[in-house]
């Protein structure tokens, strides 16, 4: 696939095409010219040390952060065009954060229907039907009437995923979705994400879960210092990285007790 063909494919439904992306906070340049495409149906995992720019890159895709330079195309929308209809674009993009961001005063079902009714203008009965189906999809059938404080962290994160799916996104963004979870509940969320990947959902995932990335990702992108250091098939980048910085990072992550200070 040529670069031009890849770029054209990525901007179709669910795809992402990022070109020359720069983002600074004052004098701190966090992203230093990122080029990245995600084809429809592809799962791409972003890995790298804290502060490498992974989460900022993800937030720029949904324009939760405004890039200083460069372009971001998402599902046929030029997200960096000043005239873009952001609300229309964001209807195609679901995002799951480190923290669950559920409304504590709303039930699980209400958390999954409120945006459908207000943004998509769905009737309450239709929204409830969609929500129930997505709760079943994440293994929470029967939890509709519970409130967030009655759920474990893993259950809350699965509600957050069901809420995002209830908006019928073509692209799902995950920003370290398991980092705030108890180790015993991490597997619950990763299992749901595996199911989404198997169903063909386009996914861009920031993660420290190397086993998940190796198993599920079509491509892995290693970032450090605001640039893409290495990218390629998951097995190659995680199993046989070519760049010394990638090798050092993975040695530390995969063998945390075998690090010389």
How high is the pLDDT of residue 195? 95
How far apart (Å, rounded) are the C-alpha atoms in residues 99 and 95? Answer: 11
Between 1 and 70, whose confidence is greater?
70
pLDDT of res. 2: 42
**pLDDT attached to residue 260:** 62
Poorest-pLDDT segment among 7-21, 101-115, 171-185: 7-21
pLDDT in tens, 31-69: 999 999 999 999 999 999 999 999 999 999 999 999 999
The pLDDT score that the predictor gives to residue 86 is 85
Can you give the residue ranges of every domain in the chain?
Answer: 16-102+171-254
The reported pLDDT for the residue numbered 156 is 95
Contacts of 168 (CB under 8 A, 6+ apart): 91, 120, 130
pLDDT at 3 over 90: no
Which residues have a Cβ under 8 Å from the Cβ of 133 and sit 6 or more positions away?
A: none
Query: What whole-number distance in Å separates Cα of residue 40 and Cα of residue 115?
Result: 25
- Provide the 3-class DSSP secondary structure of residue 219: strand
Count the Cβ atoms, other than its own, within 10 Å of residue 63. 18
- Interval 187-229: pLDDT, tens: 999 999 999 999 999 999 999 999 999 999 999 999 999 999 9
What's residue 261's pLDDT?
56
Is the confidence at residue 5, as pLDDT, over 70?
no
Q: What is the mean pLDDT of residues 8-16?
A: 64
The closest alpha carbon to 56, from 11, 91, 12, 22, belongs to 22
Cα gap 86→88, rounded to integer Å = 5
Q: Average of pLDDT values for 133-157?
A: 96
What does the alpha-carbon distance between residue 233 and residue 238 come to, in Å, rounded to a whole number?
A: 9
Q: Among the CATH numbers 3.20.10.10, 3.40.50.620, 1.20.1560.10, 3.40.50.300, which is that of 16-102+171-254? A: 3.40.50.300
Distance CA 33, CA 152 (A): 39
pLDDT at position 4 is: 41
Top pLDDT among 183 and 205 is at 205
Question: Is a pLDDT exceeding 60 seen at residue 236?
Answer: yes
- Per-residue confidence (pLDDT) for residue 141, from 0 to 100: 94
Are 16 and 171 in contact, with CB atoms under 8 Å apart?
Answer: yes
Q: How many residues does the chain have?
A: 261
Report pLDDT for 211.
92
Residue 258 is predicted with a pLDDT of 66
Q: What was the pLDDT predicted at 10?
A: 47
């Amino acid at each position: 696939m040529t670069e031009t063909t890849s770029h054209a494919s990525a901007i179709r439904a669910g795809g992402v095409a990022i070109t020359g992306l720069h983002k600074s906070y004052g004098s701190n340049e966090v992203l230093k010219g990122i080029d990245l495409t995600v084809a429809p149906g592809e799962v791409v995992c972003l890995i790298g040390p804290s502060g490498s720019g992974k989460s900022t890159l993800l937030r720029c895709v949904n324009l939760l952060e405004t890039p200083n330079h460069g372009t971001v195309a998402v599902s046929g929308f030029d997200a960096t065009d000043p005239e873009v209809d952001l609300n229309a674009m964001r209807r195609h993009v679901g995002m799951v954060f480190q923290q669950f961001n559920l409304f504590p005063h709303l039930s699980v079902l209400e958390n999954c229907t409120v945006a459908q009714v207000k943004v998509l203008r769905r009737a309450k009965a239709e929204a409830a039907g969609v929500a129930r189906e997505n709760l079943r999809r994440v293994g929470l059938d029967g939890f509709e009437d519970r409130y967030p404080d009655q759920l474990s962290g893993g259950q809350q994160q699965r509600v957050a995923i069901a809420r995002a799916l209830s908006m019928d996104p073509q692209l799902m963004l995950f920003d370290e979705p398991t980092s705030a979870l108890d180790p015993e509940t991490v597997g619950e969320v990763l299992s749901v994400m595996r199911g989404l990947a198997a169903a063909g959902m386009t996914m861009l995932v920031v993660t420290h879960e190397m086993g998940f990335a190796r198993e599920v990702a079509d491509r892995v992108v290693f970032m450090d210092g605001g640039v893409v250091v290495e990218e390629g098939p998951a097995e190659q980048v995680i199993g046989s990285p070519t760049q010394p910085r990638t090798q050092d990072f993975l040695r530390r992550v995969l063998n945390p007790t075998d690090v010389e200070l």
